[in-house]
Amino acid sequence: MTLDISIAPIASDTTDHAPPGRRPRATWAQDLSASLVVFLIAVPFSLGIALATGAPLSAGLAAAAVGGIVVGLFGGTPLQVSGPSAALTVITAGLIAQYGWQATCTITLAAGLLQLLLGARRVARTALAVSPAIVHGMLAGVGLAIAIAQLHVVLGGSPQSSALANLLALPAQLSTPHPAALAVGAVTVTVLLGWPRLGRLPGRCGEFGTRLAKVPGPLAAVAAATALAVALDLRLARVELPAWQPHGLAPDLPHGPPLAVLAAVLTVTAVASVESLLSAVAVDRMSRRTGDLDRELRGQGLANMVSGLVGGLPVAGGAVRSTANVRAGARSRRSSVLHGVWVLAAALALTGGLRRIPLAALAALVLVVGLQMVSFAHIRKVHRHREFPVYLTTVVAVVLLGVLPGVALGAATAVLLALYRLTRAHVDVLAGPGGSFTVETHGPLTFTAVPRLSRALAGIPAGAEVAVVHDGSFLDHAAYETVHSWRTAHQAGGGRVSMVTRRQDDEVLDPDGTVRTGSSPGPHRCRAWTPWAGHHCIEQQEDPHGRLLDGVRVFQLHTAPLVRPELARLAREGQTPSQLFLTCADSRMVTSMITNSGPGDLFTVRNVGNLVPAPHEPGAADDSVAAAVQYAVEVLEVRSITVCGHSGCGAMKALLDGVHEQPGRPTPLARWLRNGRGSLDRLRRVPAEFTDRPAVDLTEQLCITNVVQQLDQLMANPAVERRVTEGTLRLVGMYFDFATAQAYVLDRESGRFGPVEAATPAAAASVRQERDTPGRLDGFEQVPATGTAAADPARREGGPGLAA
The DSSP output letter for 759 is P
Contact 790, 782 (CB under 8 A): yes
**How far is the C-alpha of 420 from the C-alpha of 415, rounded, in Å?**
9
pLDDT at 144 over 70: yes
What is the predicted pLDDT for the residue at 786?
33
Which residue type does 610 have? N
Query: Which residue would you say has higher pLDDT here, 708 or 472?
Result: 708
Q: What single-letter DSSP state applies at residue 67?
A: I
285: confidence class by pLDDT, cuts 50, 70, 90:
confident
Which one, of 633, 613, 643, 641, lies nearest residue 625 by Cα? 613
- In this structure, the chain runs to a length of 804
Integer CA distances (angstroms), 796 to 78, 547, 560, 598, in order: 39, 17, 11, 7
Q: Which residues pair with 468 in a beta bridge?
A: 439, 499
Contact 502, 470 (CB under 8 A): yes
Give CA–CA dist 301/46, Å, rounded. 19
Lowest-confidence range among 217-226, 378-387, 541-550?
Answer: 541-550
pLDDT digits (tens, 9 = 90+) for 708-724: 999 999 988 888 999 99
Residue 347 in this model has a pLDDT that exceeds 50? yes
Over residues 192-238, the pLDDT tens digits come to: 888 878 877 777 777 777 777 777 778 888 889 889 988 888 888 88
Separation of alpha carbons 790 and 656, rounded Å = 39
Q: Is the pLDDT of residue 488 over 70?
A: yes
pTM: 0.53
Are the C-beta atoms of 50 and 59 separated by less than 8 Å?
Answer: yes
Mark out the alpha helices in 100-131 (DSSP H runs).
101-120, 124-127
Whether the Cβ atoms of residue 81 and residue 341 lie closer than 8 Å to each other: no
pLDDT surpasses 50 at 150: yes
- Residue 764 pLDDT > 50: no
Looking at per-residue confidence, does 170 or 782 come out higher?
170
Nearest CA-CA partner of 486 in 452, 457, 451, 459: 457
| pLDDT, mean over the chain | 79
DSSP string, 215-261: S-HHHHHHHHHHHHHHHTT----B----------SSPPPP-S-HHHH
pLDDT of residue 790: 34
Q: Which residues pair with 429 in a beta bridge?
A: 439
Using a pLDDT cut of 90, give the percent of the chain over it: 24
CB count within 10 Å of CB 335 equals 30
Q: How far apart (Å, rounded) are the C-alpha atoms in residues 748 and 731?
A: 9
Using CA atoms, how far apart are residues 241 and 57, in angstroms rounded to an integer?
6
- pLDDT above 70: residue 537: no
* Rounded Cα gap, residues 759 and 595, in angstroms: 12
Signed CA dihedral, 252, 255, 259, 263: sign only: negative
Q: Does position 517 have pLDDT exceeding 80, yes or no?
A: no
Distance from C-alpha of 707 to C-alpha of 94, rounded to nearest angstrom: 57
State yes or no: pLDDT of 32 exceeds 90.
Answer: no
Ordered alpha helix ranges (H), 658-744? 668-673, 677-685, 698-714, 718-726
Residue type present at position 147: A
Residue 27, pLDDT > 60, answer yes
pLDDT at 614: 79
* Banded pLDDT at 471 (limits 50, 70, 90): confident
Q: How many CA atoms within 13 Å lie on the side-chain side of 788? A: 27
Minimal CA–CA distance to 181: which of 208, 156, 205? 156
